[in-house]
Structure formats: C-alpha cells, structure tokens
Structure 1
Amino acid sequence: MRRLFPVTDQTVPAASDEEGAAGGGGVPGALTDREWSLAELAAAYACPEPTAGGRRVPWLRANMVSTLDGAAQHDGKSQPISNAADMRIFGTLRALADVVIVGAETVRQEAYRPARARAEFAEARQAAGQEAAPAVAVVTASLDLDFSLPLFTSPLVPTLVLTGAAAAPDRIAAAEKAGARVVIAGDGMGVEPVRAVQALGELGHTRLLTEGGPRLLGQLVAAGVLDELCLTVAPMLTAGDAQRIAGGPTVAVPQRFGLVSLLEEEGFLFGRYQRT
C-alpha cells in the first residue's frame, strides 16, 4: 500500500502491531509500497473527536466500496468487489468505532454477525474507554428480523435496534427477549437520522460508523448527518443494475466533501473524504 495524498517524500516511522494497533503509529510516506501494519492503518484513519460544551459529540463516518461503474454490490453482496486491503481497512474502522450502524436489509442479505474483539486493538480501546468490540445498531422500521441469529443472541456487546415509536409492540418484545436493546429514534414507523445520531450519542457512542446499505446511507446523506465517507474504488466493471453506494431521496443541493487522504494498493483506491 502507498499513500497518494497528501503527498510527502518522507516515510514517518510507525509502531509495529506488537506496540499497539493505535499506539501512536505514524503514517508512511507516498513512496512506501508495502503492506501497512494495523497501527499504521489506525493512525491513517484516526477518528476525529469534535466537542461541544466540553463534551464529545457524535462523528458519523461511512465505509463503502464501489466499482468503477458505480456498483456498490455484485449479486447483492459487497464481498465480490472487495479485496484483502479493503478488508483490513474494514476491520480497522470497526476497531476504532463505538458502534456500527447498518440497515435491516443489509443484515438480511449479508448474514451480519456481531463485531468481534480484536487483540491487536484491545489496549487502545481500553485506553479510549471503549467496550472490547463495537456494538451493532440495526436500523429498522418493521423489526422484520430473525432474532435467533447470533447478531442478537450472542454478541460480545448487546446489539441495538433503532426503530420508531409506532413499531409493533410484539416485535419490540421479540427483540428484547433475544437480548437486543431497542432505541426509539422516530415518532412514526421509521427512524429519523438526526434523532438516531443523537440517541446513540446520549448512550455514550460518539465514534459512529455506518456500513450501509445504500438505502440507509442515502437517508443519512439526505438528513445531513454524515461527517465522513471512507470509499474504496475497486478496479472492476460489473454493468447490470446494481445499486450505487447511496440511494433514496435526492438532496436539494449537492453536499461538498473534501479529500483528506488517498491510499492505493493493487489498483484499489482508498479515499477518505470529510464534509467541508
């Protein structure tokens, strides 16, 4: 892997994985072309921690992958358009997060499992006051989910279910019986993105990561709550009618994001963009 932006001619020394995955590692220079350690990836993707009134406020980043022709999936899944480096970044972003937000359709399509604890990040998470692994928060209006899945029955950290106040009481009861924590984030059937972010922040989750799917990401974009996009561009063409990374409502005015960093490995581009 090598860093294309921001450009520097020097390589900054970095901590090894054994020294701690987020323990002050530096970021390699542009001329470096090798496999980065988890410490280096954690430094490159360190999560901003904005504050208001002396308290941390939520920062919501999305992690998505797209082909050259804009497909976010192939045959309904993102794995076929990913690669090993993309999965290392995927794991790093999860290890930095307090909670992973995902849509119910993605849970059903991709057989979502609970996040696991990573020994390489244990010390850093403990120092940051985080649980051993991030919680998963499922956004769902209908609660039409299989609550017998490991995501609900055996997570390391209880799974959250974000839904609206008008959700069916029997489905809420089923979620709670399975061990999930139901969080109301809307007055009707659906979830309101602004309230979802606020509710997670009130639970102490300020490092927020969403992995989609496209419909959920589109809702977050339209609501103006997305702070950062980590986008992998795969050097692949799929054609067909697959969804792009964000769908749903159109924003009145395109939102401008600035490029923070750009990495490359095996033709895959790993961009990090933040709202300007």
Structure 2
Amino acid sequence: MQRLFPAPGRGDDAQVFTEGLSTPLELADVYAYPPRAAGPYLRANMVASLDGAARAEGRSAPLSSDADMRIFGTLRALADVVLVGAETVRQEGYRPARARAAFAARRAADGQQPAAVIAVISRSLELDLTAPLFTGPLVPTLVLTGAGAKDEDVAAVHAAGARVVVAGEGDGVDPARAVRELTALGLTRMLHEGGPRVLAQFAAADVIDELCLTLAPLLAGGEAPRIMNGPGVVPLSRFAPLSVLEEDGFLFTRYVRA
C-alpha cells in the first residue's frame, strides 16, 4: 500500500511509504484518532464504486478488497463504538467486533474495552435477537432508539443482553443526541458504518467529523444507493482531504471537516 497524498517526504516518512504499509499497527498510526481531550469524534467509513454505488448485489462486500478489509479492521480496532443502522445489520449479517491481539496493548493503555461496542440504530426495534450480535458479543451490544419505543420491545432487547439507549424523541434517533449519549458513556471515538440512509441523517445533522471513503476501481450501474441516500446537507458541508492511499487500484481516502 502506497501513499499518494500527501506525497511522502524524506527520511523515515518516505521509507515507510516506499516500503509500503503492511502491518496493522502501521495502519493504526496513519488512522489514529485525535487526542481524547479534543472531545468526541465521529468518523464514517464507506466504500463506493467508480460510478457512486454503495452496494452491488445488495451488499457492500463485492466492492471491497483485501486492503479495504485491513483498513476496515484497523478502524474498528481504534474505535470505542461502531454505529450501524438496523437495515445494514440485516443485509450484511453483522457480527460482534472481535478482539485483535495486535491491538490489545494499545487498547488497554488507552483504557478501551478489548473490542469496540456495536451500537445498532433502530427505530422499530425489530431485531433478530438470536443473532450472534446479541448472543455472543465480547462486549454488550447497544441499541439506540427513540423515547417512543414500545416497552415490551425494550424489555426484549434487555432480556437478550443488550442495552437500550434512548437517543431521540418519538420513535426516531436524533444524531446529535446519539453523539451526546455515547459520549456520556465514555465512548468518544466513534465509527459510523452506515447504511446510506442513516449516514445521510448524521451528515444532515452536521455531526460527522471525518469520512474515510474507499473508491473501488469497479463500475456497478443499476440503481444502488450512494453512500448517503437520505436528507440533504444544507448548507453544503465542506471537507478537506487528509490522505489518499492506494493498493491494487483501490483508493483509500480520508476527508476531515474543513
């Protein structure tokens, strides 16, 4: 994996990127979060085809690559919590985040749990509570929902071993409140994995600090959604490029709030 932007300088920086990024901890240094003292930080990670499709054959996996999955695993290993919409959980067959030996010391030194918490965003609480995400997580799964959720549904989620966090009025989740509620739990390093509808809601609420976008050298066509497929961002939110990595024709970009 090589860095295209910013161009490697001289000395150690040039040597690292000439030889390539190969180990998890090398990638971890490139994708490190800002210091915790800076406050909560929400990073989104998505993949898209050259023509903007966020899915192929109904899933994101056909657009991915080995390098993309290395970065995916690294971003999870750095995060306190992974936010994901219930529909994406169903479509992608989500499983719990796993502890990775390479990151054990790093997470322990930072006071993190062995693996990131998965936080499912669900309006209806219509979840498969027999799935591994609820029956076998290393750390208990969170479910973010609105205050209007039915008592019996909330009770069922609790009975399955997950924790319900109210993050909105009515039956919806307010993105800004979700960030506040997770921060109150000490989960300040946040990673959003979509899907497109939920991510668009967070973008419209102006709570996304960084977008990690993998651009796959593939054409998908069809009517697949973009990486954000929901409410518009008004006014348009400007982001600045932080880095671009490349491997096998895939571009791994990072954009931060300008």
1:174 deviation in Å? Answer: 0.7
Q: 2:79 is matched with which residue?
A: 97
Taking the TM superposition and a 5 Å limit, the aligned residue runs for 1:111-150 are 111-150=93-132
| Inter-partner Cα distance in structure 2 for 1:215 and 1:159 | 21
Match of 1:71 in 2: 53
Partner of 2:206: 224
Q: Does 1:36 align with 2:22?
A: yes
- The Cα offsets for residues 49-90 of structure 1, whole Å up to 9 and x where unpaired, read as 353xxxx52100000000000001101111100000000000
Letter in 2 for 1:6: P
- 4+ residue runs of structure 1 moved beyond 6 angstroms? none
Q: Tell me the equivalent position of 2:181.
A: 199
Give the AA of the match of 2:97: A
* Partners of 2:223 and 2:8 in 1: CA distance: 40
Cα distance in 1, alignment partners of residues 214 and 240 from structure 2 = 16
Q: What are the superposed Cα offsets for residues 4-62 of structure 1, whole Å, 9 maximum, x if unpaired?
A: 1111243527xxxxxxxxxxxx9823xx25452111100100011353xxxx5210000
Distance 1:186 1:43, change over 3 A: same
What is the TM-score when the length of structure 1 is the normalising length? 0.91
Consecutive unaligned residues of structure 1, counting only runs of 5 or more, are 14-25
Q: Tell me, in whole angstroms, the C-alpha distance in 2 between the residues paired with 1:6 and 1:85.
A: 19
Matches within 5 A, 1:9-24: 9-10=9-10, 12=12
With structure 2 as the length reference, what TM-score do the two structures score? 0.97
Q: Is the 8 A contact 1:2 1:28 kept in 2?
A: no
User: Could you tell me whether the CA contact under 8 Å between 1:27 and 1:44 is conserved in 2?
Assistant: no
Measured against aligned partners, the alpha-carbon deviations of 1:82-138 in whole angstroms (never above 9, x if no partner) come to: 000000000000000000000000001111000000000000000000000000000
Partner residue in 1 for 2:242:
260
Task: Specify the SS of the correspondent of 1:236.
Answer: coil
Q: Match for residue 57 of structure 1?
A: 39
Residue 191 of structure 1, CA deviation: 0.2
1:275 matches 2:242: no
Instruction: Give the 3-state SS of the residue equivalent to 2:12 in structure 1.
Output: coil
RMSD: 1.4
Query: Deviation of residue 149 (structure 1)?
Result: 0.7
Residue 28 of structure 1 aligns to a residue whose secondary structure is: helix
| Structure 2 match to 1:233 | 215
- The letter of the residue matching 2:23 is S
| Alignment match, 1:178 | 160
Q: 1:149 to 1:162 in 2, by over 3 A?
A: same
Question: How many residues are aligned here?
Answer: 258
SS at match of 1:123: helix
